Amino acid sequence: MIKVLEYIRIILRPLWPILLVLALVVNDAPPAQAISLPQELPHRKVVVVDAGHGGHDIGAVGPSGLSEKVVTLSVAHKIKEILLGTYEVHLTRNDDYGIDIEHRTAVANHHRADIFVSIHVGGGFRHQARGVVIFYHSSRSGQWSNPPRQQRDSWEMGEKLLPWDYIQGVHKSKNQVLAKLVHRHLMPKLNTVDKGVREAPCLVLRGADMPAILVEIGNLSHPADEKELRKLNVISAAAEAICEGIKEYFTKYP
C-alpha cells in the first residue's frame, strides 16, 4: 500500500504547480449564475370540426339539388382555414367520402380535442321549414327523438346505450355555453329564422369526451335557405361566426 501511495506521489509531483494555479483560478471565479429553464409552453387548444355526411350519404337535398354534404364540407374547410395558426384544428373528413358516425367522435377523442363541432344543414318534407338551430347532446328521449328521415344518421334512434354513451353528461354545462356563444355570433350573419339552442339526443355527439355541439346553419328543404347556402359569402360568414363563438368560448375556458 505504501509503495502504491509513493508511486502516486511521484506521478503527481510535476502536476502540483498546475493544480495550484487551477485552484486559485477557481477560487477567484465569480459565483455560478443560475440557469433559467424555459417554462412549459401553454397548451394549444385542439378543435375537431365534423363535416356532416359524405360519400354515398349525401344528407339533406334542396329543391334545386344542393346537397348537405357539399355545404358542410365547405363550412368545415373555411373554419379550419380561419382557426389554423391559433389552434390545432382537425377535420373528421377532408373530402367527399363517407365516415361512420362512431368514427367522427373517435377522431375527436383520439386528438384529445378541447371541443367538437359537427356541421349540418336541416332538411325534410316540409318546404316551409327553415332556420338555424344549435343542439347539444341529451341522452333523454323527448320531442326531438323523431327527427326528419334525412337526418336519422345524426340522431339516436332508440338503440341500447352503453356506459360510455353517457360521457357527454359530464360536459353538459360547457356544451350549453358553447352552443349559446356560437348561436349568438351566428344569427346576425345569416338571413334566416332563429330556431334557438336546443337539447336533443344527437348520435353524432354521443361518446365525445369534450364539450360538443351540432350546428344546423339552415334548412335545405326551404328554397330561400338553399339559395343562401349556395353563396360563398354566406358560407364564409357562417364559418366566421362559428369561429368567433369558439374563440369567445376559449376566453371563458382558457
Unique residue bearing C-alpha cell 350549453: 176
Report the pLDDT value the prediction gives residue 147, as an integer from 0 to 100: 41
Report the pLDDT value the prediction gives residue 156, as an integer from 0 to 100: 44
Report the pLDDT value the prediction gives residue 36, as an integer from 0 to 100: 53
Does position 239 have pLDDT exceeding 50, yes or no? Answer: yes
Q: How far apart are CA 86 and CA 44, in angstroms?
A: 8
Q: pLDDT for 183-236, tens place per residue? A: 999 999 998 999 999 999 999 999 999 999 999 999 999 999 999 999 999 999
Q: pLDDT for 62-75, tens place per residue? A: 999 999 999 999 99
Report the pLDDT value the prediction gives residue 148, as an integer from 0 to 100: 42
- Please compute, for residue 190, the number of CA atoms within 13 A of its CA located in the half-sphere on the CB side: 33
Return the bridge partners of 135, or none.
198, 214
Domain assignments of the chain as residue spans, ordered by start: 46-252
Mean pLDDT lowest among 35-49, 135-149, 200-214: 135-149
More confident residue, 124 or 70: 70
Q: How far apart are CA 106 and CA 207, in angstroms?
A: 8
Report the pLDDT value the prediction gives residue 166, as an integer from 0 to 100: 77
Q: How far apart are CA 239 and CA 220, in angstroms?
A: 17
Does position 2 have pLDDT exceeding 60, yes or no? Answer: no
Mean pLDDT lowest among 95-104, 116-125, 162-171: 162-171
Does position 160 have pLDDT exceeding 70, yes or no? Answer: no
109 Cβ contact list (under 8 Å, min separation 6):
207, 208, 209, 210
Strand order across the beta sheet in which 194-200 lies = 88-91, 46-51, 115-122, 212-219, 132-137, 194-200
- What pTM value is reported for the model? 0.77
Q: pLDDT for 240-250, tens place per residue? A: 999 999 999 99
Instruction: Provide the phi-psi class of 47: left if phi over 0, else alpha when psi is between -120 and 50, else beta.
Output: beta
Report the pLDDT value the prediction gives residue 11, as an integer from 0 to 100: 59
Residues recorded for the chain? 254
Mean pLDDT lowest among 143-147, 167-171, 239-243, 249-253: 143-147
Task: Using DSSP bridges, classify how beta strands 115-122 and 212-219 pair: parallel, antiparallel or unpaired.
Answer: parallel
- Cα angle value 244/248/253 (rounded, 5°): 145
Mean pLDDT lowest among 45-49, 78-82, 156-160, 249-253: 156-160
Q: Quick one: which H or E segment has residue 235?
A: helix 232-252
Does position 35 have pLDDT exceeding 70, yes or no? Answer: no
Mean pLDDT lowest among 20-29, 41-50, 166-175, 245-254: 20-29
Q: Which amino acid is at 71?
A: V
Q: Which amino acid is at 162?
A: L
Helical axes 172-186 vs 232-252, angle rounded to 10°: 140
Does position 42 have pLDDT exceeding 90, yes or no? Answer: no
Q: Per CATH, is 46-252 categorized as 3.40.630.40?
A: yes
